[in-house]
């Protein structure tokens, strides 16, 4: 049966932004942006500040998607990223990445100050730590490299955590915020002087010079896809960025640490805090898993909630699954989707759960690319870059996994008929006409849709926490009714008879 906290997102229930209009009729702007998360809204605000007109079109609510489900740590401390970047690229690229992330942090703070956005922004130090002797050397190497790259890094064992660590890497001068409060607040400053923000307006057609919804059309000099992964087949980024689902919970906490934290070893855990209505909540994320793998989802939530007992956390009140994409070579893809810019979109994807500083970086980089300005990060993040050899083996292995998903699916809830599916459970039922994804609610009603993802034909899996159908191959998410919640899919799952 469903827990009362399942599917409830802390950020969505602790702030209600004012409603914005839907798109109707025709518009002409300099830049049209699909998606109103951190990437789309930062890009829109930066572009407008440079004198360009923008139109942001969001399928659901502003800031309510992936950005509004994250832990919302604003930091250049991204795990053991710098060692990996040095290995897969070189030290100069690692330095550029660090400089970009620090610039992204400053951009968010500056946008907040300049435009009067109250996003509950708090200065915090960021820690990555280990409890395992096997990982001490890795953390020490990351610290040495980070300091060499000019980042605010230092080694310590004084973390403020309620348990001892073997070692920890601290980044000073980082920040955290309320993601919906910040994104929606910044979005509210954009409309006017030829610029617009629309919500509840799903894009159904696009080209590099226009986008269209069921009720409106925007013509533009450039189109930005700020959609976590570009829609449809644009740029084939679904082949080089692997979807990763993340369990997230929020619970009142008794032992409040002074910073935010992430461990090195597995199982993975990260945590920050936020105050609401006089209570301090832990916002914690656990080990990533493949979308739609219900068994791993349940296991990783259980581990995360057990770990929170270290902080005297109360019962979990909010529990949800967020998604992002891991790029095959450890650097995001930000820039033109094709070499011919007249046939290209501006895209940003592959943030590997570090979307806030990278999102602000994307906004700056988009503006520079549109205006023809030099940008020191453009080559590192080049969305058309040749993939390094270091990523080839992992890429091939992942593609074999995806091929298997395409043929067989990966879902343990196989059933011979709807009658086998218990209340509160889901399953895949095979018929002559094709596989059907079915869920039986607590009242006994069966909700049935096609089990075949409309993006590239993978068999979807069940997300028990959010009660959605999630694609394990490329990360699309669908509601019980088949409606698209997250792309790259743009067409809903077809409804099927439930008898």
Task: Establish if 163 belongs to a structural domain.
Answer: no
pLDDT tens for residues 10-23? 999 999 999 999 99
Burial of 391 per CB tally in 10 Å (0-12, 13-18, 19+): middle
Query: DSSP for 440-466?
Result: E-TTS-EEEEESB-TTT-PBPEEETTT
Does residue 312 come out as left (phi exceeding 0), alpha (psi in the -120 to 50 range) or beta? left
Helix (H, G, I), strand (E, B) or coil at 149: coil
Structure tokens at 161: 């955590």
pLDDT tens for residues 25-65? 999 999 999 999 999 999 999 999 999 999 999 999 999 99
Owner of token pair 């919640």: 485
Mean pLDDT of the chain: 92
Helix (H, G, I), strand (E, B) or coil at 248: strand
Task: Establish if 71 belongs to a structural domain.
Answer: no
H-assigned helices in 193-314: 294-307
Domain limits for position 444 = 409-486
Task: Establish if 304 belongs to a structural domain.
Answer: no
Q: Is the dihedral of CA 293, 458, 324, 478 positive or negative?
A: negative
Gyration radius from the chain CA atoms:
22
Judge whether 23 and 213 are in contact, CB under 8 Å.
yes
Q: Around 213, how many Cα atoms within 13 Å sit in the side-chain half-sphere?
A: 25
**Considering all CA atoms of the chain, what is the largest pairwise distance in Å, rounded to the nearest integer?**
65
Task: Establish if 466 belongs to a structural domain.
Answer: yes
* Residue 115 to residue 183: CA distance in whole angstroms: 12
Judge whether 55 and 220 are in contact, CB under 8 Å.
yes
What pTM does this model have? 0.93
Structure-model confidence comparison of residues 497 and 147, the more confident one: 147
Q: How confident is the model at residue 385 (pLDDT cuts 50, 70, 90)?
A: confident
Structure tokens at 177: 């915020």
Report residue 392 CA to chain centroid gap: 24
* Residue 476 to residue 270: CA distance in whole angstroms: 25
Domain count, the chain: 1
* Residue 443 to residue 424: CA distance in whole angstroms: 9
pLDDT above 70 for 405: no
Task: Establish if 58 belongs to a structural domain.
Answer: no
Q: What is the CATH number of the domain that holds 466?
A: 2.102.10.10
Task: Establish if 479 belongs to a structural domain.
Answer: yes
Task: Establish if 44 belongs to a structural domain.
Answer: no
Task: Establish if 95 belongs to a structural domain.
Answer: no
Q: How confident is the model at residue 434 (pLDDT cuts 50, 70, 90)?
A: confident
Q: How confident is the model at residue 407 (pLDDT cuts 50, 70, 90)?
A: very low
pLDDT above 70 for 212: yes
Task: From residue 467, give the alpha-carbon distance in Å to each of 70, 130, 192, 239, 485.
Answer: 18, 34, 38, 26, 12
The residues facing 484 across adjacent strands are 478
Q: How confident is the model at residue 368 (pLDDT cuts 50, 70, 90)?
A: very high
Q: How far apart are the first and last CA of the chain?
A: 23
């Amino acid at each position: 049966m469903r827990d009362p906290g399942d599917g409830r997102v802390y950020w969505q229930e602790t702030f209600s932004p004012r409603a914005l209009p839907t798109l109707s009729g025709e518009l002409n702007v300099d830049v049209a942006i699909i998606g109103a998360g951190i990437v789309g809204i930062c890009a829109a605000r930066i572009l407008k500040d440079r004198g360009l007109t923008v139109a942001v079109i969001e399928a659901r609510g502003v800031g309510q998607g992936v950005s509004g489900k994250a832990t919302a740590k604003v930091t250049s401390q991204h795990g053991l990223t710098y060692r990996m970047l040095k290995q897969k690229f070189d030290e100069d690229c690692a330095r550029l990445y660090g400089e970009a992330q620090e610039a992204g942090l400053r951009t968010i703070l500056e946008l907040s100050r300049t435009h009067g956005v109250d996003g509950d922004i708090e200065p915090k130090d960021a820690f990555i730590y280990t409890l395992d002797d096997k990982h001490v050397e890795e953390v020490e190497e990351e610290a040495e490299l980070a300091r060499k790259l000019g980042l605010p890094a230092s080694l310590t064992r004084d973390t403020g955590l309620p348990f001892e660590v073997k070692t920890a890497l601290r980044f000073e001068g980082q920040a955290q915020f309320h993601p919906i409060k910040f994104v929606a607040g910044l979005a509210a400053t954009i409309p006017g002087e030829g610029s617009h923000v629309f919500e509840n307006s799903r894009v159904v057609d696009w080209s590099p010079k226009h986008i269209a919804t069921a009720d409106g059309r925007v013509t533009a000099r450039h189109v930005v896809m700020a959609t976590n992964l570009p829609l449809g087949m644009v740029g084939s980024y679904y082949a080089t960025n692997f979807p990763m689902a993340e369990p997230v919970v929020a619970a009142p906490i008794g032992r409040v640490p002074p910073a935010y934290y992430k461990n090195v070893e597995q199982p993975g855990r990260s945590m920050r805090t936020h105050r609401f209505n006089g209570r301090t909540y832990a916002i914690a994320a656990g080990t990533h898993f493949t979308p739609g793998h219900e068994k791993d989802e349940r296991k990783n939530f259980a581990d995360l909630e057990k770990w929170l007992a270290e902080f005297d956390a109360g019962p979990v009140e909010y529990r949800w699954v967020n998604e992002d994409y891991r790029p095959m070579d450890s650097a995001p893809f930000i820039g033109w989707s094709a070499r011919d810019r007249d046939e290209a979109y501006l895209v940003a994807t592959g943030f590997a759960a570090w979307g806030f500083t990278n999102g602000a970086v994307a906004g700056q980089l988009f503006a520079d690319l549109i205006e023809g300005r030099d940008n020191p990060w453009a080559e590192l993040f080049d969305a058309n870059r040749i993939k390094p050899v270091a990523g080839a083996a992992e890429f091939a292995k992942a593609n074999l996994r995806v091929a298997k998903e395409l043929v067989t699916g990966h879902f343990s809830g196989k059933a011979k008929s709807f009658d086998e599916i218990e209340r509160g459970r889901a399953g895949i039922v095979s018929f002559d006409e094709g596989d059907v994804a079915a869920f039986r609610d607590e009242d006994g009603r069966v909700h049935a849709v096609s089990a075949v993802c409309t993006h590239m034909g993978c068999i979807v899996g069940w997300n028990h926490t959010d009660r959605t159908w999630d694609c394990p191959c490329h990360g699309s998410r669908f509601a019980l009714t088949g409606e698209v919640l997250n792309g790259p899919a743009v067409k809903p799952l077809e409804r099927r008879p439930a008898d």
